[in-house]
Amino acid sequence: MSNTQIQIFDTTLRDGEQVPGCKLNTPQKVIIAKQLDLLGVDIIEAGFPVSSPGDFKSVEEISKIVKNATVCGLTRSVENDIKVAAEALKYARKPRIHTGIGTSDSHIIHKFKSNKDAIIERAVRAVSYAKSFVEDVEFYAEDAGRTDNEYLARVCEAVIKAGATVLNIPDTTGYCLPHEYGAKIKYLKENVKGIDKAIISCHCHNDLGLATANSIEGIINGARQIECTINGIGERAGNTALEEVVMIMKQHPYLNLDTNIDTKMLFGISQLVSESMGIYTQPNKAIVGANAFAHSSGIHQDGVIKNRETYEIIDPKDVGVNESAIVLTARSGRAALAYRAKKVGYELTKLELDVVYAGFLKFADNKKEVIDSDIHEIVKISKIYN
Ligand code: KIV
Ligand code: ZN
């Protein structure tokens, strides 16, 4: 793997599916996994096999059908979790076990009622045990965002020695600021012995709306994998949105970072996940929201009609959206009306446009949006054609 290549680890089917009320069944998960494989994600986290027979079955079925991506199963640092995950992954061409434990004071003291050294011992035991089943073992230090860097470095060093191939540094509670998260990754790169034997992974939650910014800061500081979900879905405020981090790297080539993602599939897969889970995507969602390429104010519409790039930094076709939308509202100008009227068959002269525009404004003041059938009606009542 070249140093400019960022691995995309999709956890839509594991962390993403932790959205309350959005449980998917195995056939739905298999359909999504096939599309993720075609999309070009490098790793698919297919589930948490020990959590339920249904999740075990999903991981097993996904392992059978995925052709290119690594298939990963989550576990706690518990022997039985690891054994069950290995069993669920047995058909995978490229299996990965993702094991780990909480490393912040809050997790060590309150959740485990334990101490720092004992947590390192458990982490090492879990990684060594996972290594007895598969070569590829990812270790997560849960709540790494609130774990002090010096202890986190000790944990990382110990699990690398035990054979971990990937170190996941989750900002589990979405607490870090981008410069803090970036500094954490840099600290690990500079202070963990053997760090070159492992890939550092960013796993950021969106509680403060910073998941995307934190993940990008992480890769700028040396991480080489991002864990993310389609549409940013996930527990509470969700995870890093796959479509956002991928398009940030594509739109900023000077970062010199690349992925294997076929970006033209992004809009379609966003809709598939949203429909399968019954979660509506907010219209202003970056990249895949209904309004991401829609223009409704007169000034913007005029600019986009003259040259799309005036108000768009992404070509909608690059993410699978056919074209930008010029939405007609009471804030729209003559250029937008002429553009939309032409699309439905009226080539208006300047004088005709003046007449139709006056009728349009009266209409638009009473409607949220003027649609194609309204344009026919407005032209008809404007009486410019006999
Ligand atoms: O957010 C988190 O810490 C996680 C781990 C289980 C990887 O999802
Ligand atoms: Zn998570």
pLDDT tens digits, 23-66? 899 999 999 999 999 999 999 999 999 999 999 999 999 999 99
pLDDT of residue 386: 64
Tens-digit pLDDT profile for residues 220-253: 999 999 999 999 999 999 999 999 999 999 999 9
| Ligand 1 atom with the shortest distance to the CA of 142 | 3
pLDDT of residue 383: 80
Closest Cα partner for 141 from 200, 100, 109, 111?
A: 100
pLDDT of residue 384: 74
- Count, in order, helices (H) and strands (E) of the chain: 14, 10
| Ligand 1 atom with the shortest distance to the CA of 11 | 8
Residue 355 CA to ligand 1 center (angstroms) comes to: 60
Asked if the model's pLDDT at residue 203 lies above 70, the reply is: yes
Helix, strand, or coil here: 334? helix
| Ligand 1 atom with the shortest distance to the CA of 205 | 1
Tens-digit pLDDT profile for residues 275-289: 999 999 999 999 999
Tens-digit pLDDT profile for residues 101-114: 999 999 999 999 99
Residue of minimum CA distance from atom 6 in ligand 1: 142
pLDDT of residue 23: 86
Asked if the model's pLDDT at residue 1 lies above 80, the reply is: no
CB contact at 8 A, 373 and 367: no
Q: Which residues of 196-213 are buried (b: 16+ CB within 10 A; e: fewer)?
A: eebbbbbbbbbbeebbbb
Residue of minimum CA distance from atom 1 in ligand 1: 172
Average pLDDT, integer, range 108-137 = 98
Residue of minimum CA distance from atom 8 in ligand 1: 15
Percentage of residues of the chain with pLDDT beyond 90: 97
Tens-digit pLDDT profile for residues 312-351: 999 999 999 999 999 999 999 999 999 999 999 999 999 9
Half-sphere exposure of 368 (CA within 13 A, CB side): 0
pLDDT of residue 20: 85
CB contact at 8 A, 182 and 142: no
Chain centroid, CA 327 distance in Å: 27
Asked if the model's pLDDT at residue 385 lies above 80, the reply is: no
From first CA to last CA, the distance across the chain in angstroms is 68
| Ligand 1 atom with the shortest distance to the CA of 168 | 7
Residue of minimum CA distance from atom 7 in ligand 1: 140
Please state, in angstroms and rounded to a whole number, the distance separating the CA atoms of residues 78 and 84. Answer: 10
pLDDT of residue 24: 93
Q: Residue 232 CB: number of other CB atoms within 10 A?
A: 28
Tens-digit pLDDT profile for residues 71-92: 999 999 999 999 999 999 999 9
Residue 173 CA to ligand 1 center (angstroms) comes to: 9
Residue 173 CA to ligand 2 center (angstroms) comes to: 8
Asked if the model's pLDDT at residue 154 lies above 90, the reply is: yes
pTM given for the model: 0.96
- Residue of 9, 15, 45, 226 to mutate, ligand 1, most atoms within 8 A of C-beta: 15
Please state, in angstroms and rounded to a whole number, the distance separating the CA atoms of residues 305 and 281. Answer: 27
Residue of minimum CA distance from atom 5 in ligand 1: 142
Q: What is the DSSP string of 189-240?
A: HHH-TTGGGSEEEEEEB-TTS-HHHHHHHHHHTT--EEEEBGGG--STT-B-
Backbone angles phi, psi at 323, to 5 degrees: -160, 165
Residue 172 CA to ligand 2 center (angstroms) comes to: 6
Query: Given the DSSP bridges, would you call strands 95-102 and 199-204 parallel, antiparallel or unpaired?
Result: unpaired
Q: Which domains does the chain have, with CATH numbers?
A: 7-277 (3.20.20.70), 294-382 (no CATH)
Distances (CA, A) of 247 to 19, 37, 358: 24, 18, 41
* Pocket lined around ligand 1, Cβ cut-off 6 Å: 15, 140, 142, 168, 170, 172, 203, 205
Average pLDDT, integer, range 113-122 = 98
Confidence band for 296, pLDDT divided at 50, 70 and 90? very high
Tens-digit pLDDT profile for residues 161-198: 999 999 999 999 999 999 999 999 999 999 999 999 99
Q: What is the rounded average pLDDT for all residues in the chain?
A: 97
pLDDT of residue 2: 81
